[in-house]
Structure 1
Amino acid sequence: MTEATPDDLRAKIDDLVTRLPSSLVYSLLSEIESMDDESADRVQLVRQYVIEYLNRQRTNRARRLFTSLFEAFLIDDDALYHAGVAVPGMLQRVDAGALWELLSRDAFPLLAVEAQEQLDEMARDEVIDRVLKSPTATALKERMRVAAVKHLDGLLASKKTADEALATMSRNRQRRTRLMSGFLEKPPPVEIGTLRLMHAVMAGANGSMAEVAGRLEGFSPAPAGEMERSRRADALVEATETLRERHGDDDALLLPLSVLTVKGNYGVIALYIRQSGVDPGRGDAVTAALTGHFIGVTRALTAALGATLRLNERVPGSAIRPSAKERLRLEALTGRLAALIDAVAAAGLMEDRRSEPAFRNAWTAAGKVIGSRVAAVALERSSQAAAARRHPVVDQDDVVWLDRLLCLWQRMSRDFGFETYDLVKWRETLLEELRANVERAMKFEEGETLDERMEHLLRINTLSGVFGQRISAWIPSFSHNMTRLLSHRLERGGDLDPEERAIIDELVATARTEVGKSRYWKSNELMDLIELSDRALAPR
């Protein structure tokens, strides 16, 4: 067997690591480094190729080293940009990159070049993640931190220079978010609080902020169970008070703000707000951040629906074709909004007439779009899906998904106390439309098979099932076509779909009730159907 050439080996390694999650690639690298039985040269070559693959996409190494100063507090959450207001405690990775571009140009340009060159050299034979934790990288990071703090001290001392820096960072934010999100038209400008927070994090990196980051690690994203949430809220109140005594209010508040923004732990934050005794009407940084999350997620959901359904350029009658990624994003936003509703209510922010309008206004604005334009699309597509006799429409599954999303929105609106007549009317109209299509589906046309009729009815049942309604409630027990259809499906034998089985069971039960109404006269058709059902569906 001939020895593989270096190019062949590189191709094999690239193909292998491309298929693996990044965590497994690192495990592979560890295994390679511990191999003793293979040729040392070959092992070294394989190791080098894996390292090159891992480092290939991460070329801005000096920037990565600098932004690691904020790592414990960084998020990638474009939904918060939709809030249009400052969200206390929000440190976006995009904004950390914008600060790097500003400082590497104005504060330490030579140091930035030096750091990049040294890191490039070290990354030739080591994974960049390990390089960034090396003593050399740590020393470079400390030099950048000191230079950055000194530069920002002077910059923040003057309103003019601060405004210029914010304008530069805002342009950078707009450019980068345009690449990140297809739903965000224009992010809000970077505000002075964000720049001051970045300055505070760097200034206290070896002191107060290190302690905040350490305590933050003790909070999970979403503890399960009310008792656990209560326990974590107590711990948060205690930890925040300890930090306040040691480092002051501003540094201490970063802990609950990060539990909210970094960990996304809305339940614990709601209890924290209750227990900390904040006046909901006057509020504080934590209540302002929770409000910002609610507004941002609500608006992001509306924007995502508009972009996914192409509301502004949609042609009436056209299919809806959300991608898997768009579906996941909308479902994630909806789930996040449900958690926020619970948190806002638990925090008592809906009980105060001074804090409640912000939530009502955000929900009302979203409801106008969802209850009218989105619901209209769902009604149109559901009607067409229900009317399709021979074959399902191309977006049958997507229509069912959209109906479920709207039902969830209606349920959340009801729980939140903001249910509108629009969606109530939409639900009633759609169910009436589905019922009418069931009646039409039960009228057999020439050239159609009974199996096609049942498949059509099952498709309608899938749509009505979103609302907890089975089509069996709309089919009269004295229907001759119903008897023919059920008899055909039962005589056919074989396993039945669970939903079809449930429909047949309900219709047969209705037939039994109808037969039981008369002691002296029995419908032969219904009796035959009942007997056939007993035989076909009897346990074997």
Structure 2
Amino acid sequence: MTDEIRPEELHQDELRHKIDALVARLPASLVYSLLSEIEGMDSEPTDRVQLVRQYVIEYLNRQRTNRARRLFTNLFEAFLIDDDVLYHGGVAVPGMLQRVDVGALWEALSRDAFPLLAVEAQEMLDEMARGEVIDRILRSPVATVMKERMRVAAVKHLDAVLANKKAMEELLAGMSRNRPRRTRLMSGFLEKTPTIDVNTLRLMHLVLTHAEGAGKPVADRLEEFPASCSGEAEANRLADRLLDATDQLRDRCGDDLANLLPLSVLTVKRNYPVAALYIRQSGVDPGRGDAMTAALTGHFIGVTRALTAALTVILKLNDRVPGSAIRPSAKEKARLEALVQRLDQLVHAATSAGLMEDRRSEPAFRNAWTQAAKIIGSRVAAVAMERSAQAAAARRQPVIDHADIVWLDRLLWRWQGMSRDFGFETYDLVKWRESLLEELRANVEKAMKFEETDPLDERMEHLLRIDGIAGVFGQRVSAWIPTFSHNMTRLLSHRLERGGELGAEEQAIIDDLVATARTEVGKSRYWKSNELMDLIELSERTRQVG
């Protein structure tokens, strides 16, 4: 027979659930502020407040159970990234330290270099986490000493590994086997991850070796650089600062650590304008294997391939049923838009860096773009054409994915704009646009054919849906509606007479057609169309009332 649960235990469980629910809804910064407020109370906190503090701490620590690993990876924190996009390139990116790869290094070192120390660190941190937030614990003197012991053991082990080719290959193979499993948690679009190369391992060794010494000035200087620039003037100013800082670090810390600063501005901060200007102003030779140009090229290849991989999965290009709706989620749309935005920045960066002017560096960019264009300009464009045609033909009510179709058309046309800016424009999407506009025009003509009994509001809604698609390409349906169309004057008169506020798109169409009617009426001094005159007068009265 089990013991009865005491009332105070029930009360504590209820309080714990309330705190969990509250903290789950708050941003992390507010949770820490709440904790600080509790701890900063003038008087001694009551037992209930102490319980609240304890439950907040438990909640924050609950998701962070690998505490020894977290302590170890803090040695790399200033240079770590979580960027699955770069894996798509299939090439090594100089200066890239992915958090999942450092996690793979931890698994190897905690097994082969300091297994007992890893267990000791985990047990110590678990005990300390009973009454304090893990983030604070990791900054404590006790944790700092433990971290230094792990760092020394790791450097000693890697010194031996890097001096032994067989041991090095075994370590790289083991870490590479870890990559697919870990990267699957980051992205559902990555088919195959590249192996970890020896330069990445050497970079890890470099950071570990100098983490508590010469590496700190590099991390400190990196904090001076933002992730974006407000304009060209700021980009130039920051590029000058980056050149000066790198030169100073080179004198103080040596070439390898100094080069980590611009590489981190590129890969950690992802400040492409500053990185591009640094490449141009530093006078590097792209043909001689410069790390910065290789890194920028790696970013470009990774983003273009990540974009096509995401489109292939999201639009189901490999197993799509013809005529089926496209239904990208908000998260998928956000990813694609972010990739396009990032690619746009890289296009300008490659041009600004002068890499498109050099016959040795330009082919890598051209090849990556061409491969992406084959998929986007044919397979993705075909889906957009099919769905746009169906959306335009939907006379009674919109297709279920109408908004998604407009979004996809806009994405494609933005790609075409980038192709033009980059000098890689092809005729495929130009012809695709012309064909699509012809399809839309044909559907406008069909939409304007209706009987006396047809609901006119429904006709206008159909026109507005077609106009929404045409508007992506700078076209308006009013250009396809003849001035002397009886149905046109009837439809517009109905919409103006019914009163109420018109939407901006509908008002623009009406204004266009009324302006065209004025022009037609003004052409003849003796004969005036009564229908057009009535429409013009109705439009003027409606505007006066409005």
2:220 is matched with 214
Structural mapping, 1:460-499, within 5 Å: 460-499=466-505
Distance 2:474 2:70 in 1: 51
1:280 CA displacement: 2.5
Structural mapping, 1:426-465, within 5 Å: 426-445=432-451, 448-465=454-471
1:281 CA displacement: 2.6
Q: 1:249 to 1:504 in 2, by over 3 A?
A: same
1:192 is matched with 198
1:282 CA displacement: 2.4
1:135 is matched with 141
Corresponding residue pairs, total: 539
1:168 is matched with 174
Q: Is 2:132 the partner of 1:158?
A: no
Q: Is 2:314 the partner of 1:304?
A: no
Match of 1:505 among 511, 523, 529: 511
1:388 is matched with 394
Distance 1:69 1:538 in 2: 70
Distance 2:143 2:212 in 1: 16
Given that 1:35 and 1:43 are in contact with CA atoms closer than 8 Å, whether structure 2 keeps it comes out as: no
Distance 2:451 2:358 in 1: 61
Match of 1:357 among 332, 356, 363: 363
Q: Deviations over 1:425-461 (max 9, x none)?
A: 1111101101111010001147530000000000000
Given that 1:89 and 1:197 are in contact with CA atoms closer than 8 Å, whether structure 2 keeps it comes out as: yes
Q: Deviations over 1:443-501 (max 9, x none)?
A: 11475300000000000000000001110111011000000000000000010001101
1:106 CA displacement: 0.2
1:414 is matched with 420
Q: Which amino acid aligns with 2:120?
A: E
2:4 is matched with none
1:37 CA displacement: 6.4
Match of 2:26 among 14, 20, 35: 20
Q: Is 2:281 the partner of 1:281?
A: no
Given that 2:66 and 2:122 are in contact with CA atoms closer than 8 Å, whether structure 1 keeps it comes out as: yes
Q: Deviations over 1:172-228 (max 9, x none)?
A: 111111222111001100000010000000101122211110100000001211111
Match of 1:377 among 380, 383, 387: 383
Match of 1:96 among 85, 94, 102: 102
Match of 1:329 among 335, 351, 357: 335
Q: Deviations over 1:486-531 (max 9, x none)?
A: 0000000010001101110110000000100100000000000000
Q: 1:538 to 1:21 in 2, by over 3 A?
A: same
**TM-score normalised according to structure 1 size:** 0.98
Q: Which amino acid aligns with 2:362?
A: E
Distance 2:94 2:221 in 1: 19
2:37 is matched with 31
Question: Counterpart of 2:473 in 1: which secondary structure?
Answer: coil
Distance 2:279 2:168 in 1: 33
1:266 is matched with 272
Distance 2:185 2:496 in 1: 56
Distance 2:39 2:152 in 1: 36
Distance 1:38 1:387 in 2: 72
Q: Is 2:92 the partner of 1:109?
A: no
Distance 2:445 2:457 in 1: 17
Given that 1:145 and 1:202 are in contact with CA atoms closer than 8 Å, whether structure 2 keeps it comes out as: yes
Distance 1:15 1:326 in 2: 28
Given that 1:435 and 1:471 are in contact with CA atoms closer than 8 Å, whether structure 2 keeps it comes out as: yes
Q: Which amino acid aligns with 1:176?
A: R
Q: Which runs of 5+ in 2 are unaligned?
A: 1-6
2:524 is matched with 518
Structural mapping, 1:121-132, within 5 Å: 121-132=127-138
Q: Is 2:67 the partner of 1:67?
A: no
Q: Which runs of 5+ in 1 are unaligned?
A: none
Q: Which amino acid aligns with 1:31?
A: E
Q: Which amino acid aligns with 1:473?
A: A
Match of 2:256 among 244, 250, 254: 250
2:246 is matched with 240
Given that 1:89 and 1:258 are in contact with CA atoms closer than 8 Å, whether structure 2 keeps it comes out as: yes
Match of 2:235 among 219, 229, 232: 229
CA RMSD, Structure 1 to Structure 2 (Å):
1.2
1:410 CA displacement: 0.2
Q: Which amino acid aligns with 1:522?
A: K
Distance 1:246 1:37 in 2: 50
Q: Which amino acid aligns with 2:441?
A: R
2:3 is matched with none
Question: Counterpart of 1:476 in 2: which secondary structure?
Answer: coil
Given that 2:38 and 2:45 are in contact with CA atoms closer than 8 Å, whether structure 1 keeps it comes out as: no
Distance 2:412 2:211 in 1: 46
Given that 1:280 and 1:348 are in contact with CA atoms closer than 8 Å, whether structure 2 keeps it comes out as: no
